[in-house]
Structure 1
Amino acid sequence: MKKIAIFLASVCLASSLHAQTPRTEAEVYAYRQAMQSANRDLQSGNVQAAFATIKAQAELGFVEAQYILATLYHDGEGTAQDIAQAKLWYERAAAQADNAEIAALAQQALDELASSK
C-alpha cells in the first residue's frame, strides 16, 4: 500500500493529466481534488474509500487512475484481489497513447501477468 500511496502522491503533485479526450479546467480540478482525497484516505488507512474514489476517476478515463485502479485490483488493496479486473484496467491504461509513461508501466504489468501464468 505504501508504494501505491507514494505513486498516487506523485500523480497528484506532478500529473500532466494526459487523457485521450480533452478535459476542461473544471474536470482537471475535480480530478486533482479527488485524487488528493484518495491519497489522504490511503495515508489514513481508509483504503476502501480511496479505492472507490480512484475507481470513479478511472471510469472517467483518467489514465493515471486507471493504472492505480489496476494495481489496487492486482494487489487486493481496498477490494478483493481480482486479476481479471486488474488486467482489464491495465489494458485500458496501456491503450492510452497520450501518456507514454503510464502506458509503459501498464504494459509492463500486463507482461508480468502473462509471464506468471
Structure 2
Amino acid sequence: MTTRCATGVHDKHDVYAAQCPCRDVLDLLANKWAALAIGALEDGPLRFGELQRRLQGISPKVLTQTLRRLEDNGFLHREIYPAVPLHVEYSLTDLGHSVSKPLGALRTWVETNLDKLSA
C-alpha cells in the first residue's frame, strides 16, 4: 500500500508523519470512551442503555458520538431491529475484535499498575 504522508511517498503508513491518516485512527482508539466501549462489547452485543450503564459516567451525547465514530471507522456494527420501541444493538466487527486485544492489555496494565503511578 502506498500513501502520501508529510514525509513523502511510503510503502506503508507512518504514524509519526504529520499528515498520515493513521493519526485519526490512533486519536480515536486512544480516547478513553472508545477504548472502554470496545472493551464492553468484547463479550457480545449490547444495547445503548446497557452500554451506558456499563460505561459509568458517560453522557448519552458522548456515547452516541463515540459509537458513531467507531461505526464509521469499521470497529462496530449497529443492528436495528424493527420493534416498538426500536431495538438497536451494537457489536464488534472483526476489526473491532482485533483491536480489542491490545486495548484489553492496556486496560489490564493500567489497573495493575495504577498504584505505582505518581499522581
Q: TM exceeds 0.5? A: no
TM-score, normalised by the number of residues in structure 2? 0.30
TM-score, normalised by the number of residues in structure 1? 0.30
Larger radius of gyration: 2
Structure with a larger share of its residues in helix? 1
